[in-house]
Amino acid sequence: MECNVDIHEATAAQTCVLPQHIQAIACDLDMTLALSRQPIEQSMAQVLCELSWHMPLAIVSGGAFHLFEYQLTPYVDAQANRKHIYLLPTSGARRYEFINDTWQCVQAHDLSDDDKRMAIASLTRRAHELGLWLDDSMVQGDRIEDRGGQITFSALGQLASRAHREAWDPQRVKKNALARLVAQDLPHLTVKTGGSTSVDVIAPGIDKGFAVRSLAELWHIDVRSIAFFGDRMQNDGNDWPAAKEGAYAIHVNNPDETYTVLSAWAQALAQRKLC
């Protein structure tokens, strides 16, 4: 990690102390609020509901909105102040807000149809060249997914188990090689590694740094006043841009660590309100 970017570890005791300057919270979804591709736990849902009454709360994920609908929105219910909750799939390429009792897309930076076609063609060709286009019997779910503002290649498929995904390319050599070749084909777009087995093609400038910057503008606060929780804070991880942009970055290894910090913060905010 770059020396000029501060990353706070969730396991450090002082991280559970809510910094006075924090005015909003943003969190990654997979392995931060929930296990990969799994619904959030009831305890996590409860603490998110509590926090939403104290300050704005955003969930920023590289995944598509349908994953929010499976993992998050059914559990963040009427107990929450949903007008304070903002959902940003595809790393902020889209933003959803709760309007008229439903989640509605209020902003979208989608790829053009031509860019989508070129991205799919490049990912397909380069994956074949590198031997990363696996036999169908080894793939679970969609291999290439159109997420509107992002085209994502998942070597093992969208539904592969976490264990299989993490074992496939632990040193990130395979997906980094694919990302480099696709970037050569698509110099006008941004190509990044995403999850354990994925490569994303997105519009230039769209990442979690863009997401926290746009949220700061929306909320009329300094980006440094946003606490951002994420599990991929290494400098090639998809949470790193939020830290680099200046958010108060907190690295977690799993949802339990996130819950420990958020529940402590929720208690501190509740006590502050009573004072």
From start to end of the chain, where are the E strands? 7-9, 24-27, 57-60, 85-88, 94-99, 102-108, 144-146, 150-154, 190-193, 198-202, 226-230, 248-251
SS3 235: coil
Q: What is the pLDDT of residue 274?
A: 56
Q: Which amino acid is at 94?
A: R
Domains, the chain, ranges and CATH? 7-12+19-109+206-274 (3.40.50.1000), 113-202 (3.30.1240.20)
Q: What is the pLDDT of residue 182?
A: 98
From start to end of 11-155, where are the E strands? 24-27, 57-60, 85-88, 94-99, 102-108, 144-146, 150-154
Contact, 147 vs 90, CB < 8 A?
yes
Q: Is 165 annotated as a binding residue?
A: yes
Report the alpha-carbon distance of residue 99 to residue 105 in Å, rounded.
Answer: 9
Q: Is 198 annotated as a binding residue?
A: yes
Residues acting as catalytic residues? 28, 30
Report the alpha-carbon distance of residue 197 to residue 165 in Å, rounded.
Answer: 6
Per-residue pLDDT tens listing for the chain (275 residues): 444 789 999 999 889 999 999 999 999 999 999 998 899 999 999 999 999 999 999 999 988 999 999 999 999 999 999 999 999 999 999 999 999 999 999 999 999 999 999 999 999 999 999 999 999 999 999 999 999 889 999 999 988 988 899 899 998 899 999 999 999 999 999 998 877 899 999 998 999 999 999 999 999 999 999 999 999 998 878 899 999 999 999 999 999 999 999 999 999 999 876 54
Taking the complete model, does pTM exceed 0.85, yes or no?
yes
